[in-house]
Structure formats: C-alpha cells, structure tokens
Amino acid sequence: MQTTVNSSVKMPQALRERIQNLADARKQSAHAVMLQALEAYISREEQRESLRQEARAAHEHYMRTGLHLTGHEVREWINRNRQGKKAPMPPCHV
C-alpha cells in the first residue's frame, strides 16, 4: 500500500495562532516555522526509530547466541577509557 504526503494540514485554530505568533516574533513566515518544526520532529523520530531497530537487532542477536557483557564490565571499560587508558572493549561471553 503506497500513500502520499498531503501538503495541506488541518490543525486547530489555537495551534495556528501559536505558529503565527512565533513566526511574527522571529520575523519569519508561518510556513518557515512549520517546516523547521517538521524537520526537527522527523529527524528526532528517525533517530529514535533507528535506535529502536538497533536495540531489537541486538536483542535478537543475544537471544540467538547468548553473547553479552555485564553492566559492570562495560562501566569498567568506559572508566578506563575516560582515564585515557584507551582500553579495547572486552570480548563478549556467554
């Protein structure tokens, strides 16, 4: 199923007014404010979805293999690197 993006957005009058007030305060068009807001929202949600997919893949890998690091092992590795010791990540284990 393919959908297209409708370029006409219906919104409550109160939101229209808020957008216009912000646009006026910034000396921008309401259109520019809406584009900036949509860009920020879509970028954030794309990153969130990417992290969700990465977490799902990591969990599936763990469920298949049992390979993991404990929280303690990871914290020790991070602390060593923070102290400038540039330690390699410890190997995963079952």
Considering the domain boundaries, does residue 49 fall inside one? Answer: yes
Q: What is the pLDDT of residues 24-78, one digit of tens each?
A: 999 999 999 999 999 999 999 999 999 999 999 999 999 999 999 999 999 999 9
Give residue 6's pLDDT: 64
Considering the domain boundaries, does residue 71 fall inside one? Answer: no
Domain residues for 45? 13-66
Answer for the pair 68, 93: CB distance below 8 angstroms, yes or no: yes
Considering the domain boundaries, does residue 3 fall inside one? Answer: no
| Confidence category of residue 8, pLDDT binned at 50, 70, 90 | confident
Provide the whole-model pTM.
0.72
Instruction: Report CA torsion sign: 34, 37, 40, 44.
Output: negative
Q: How many domains does the chain have?
A: 1
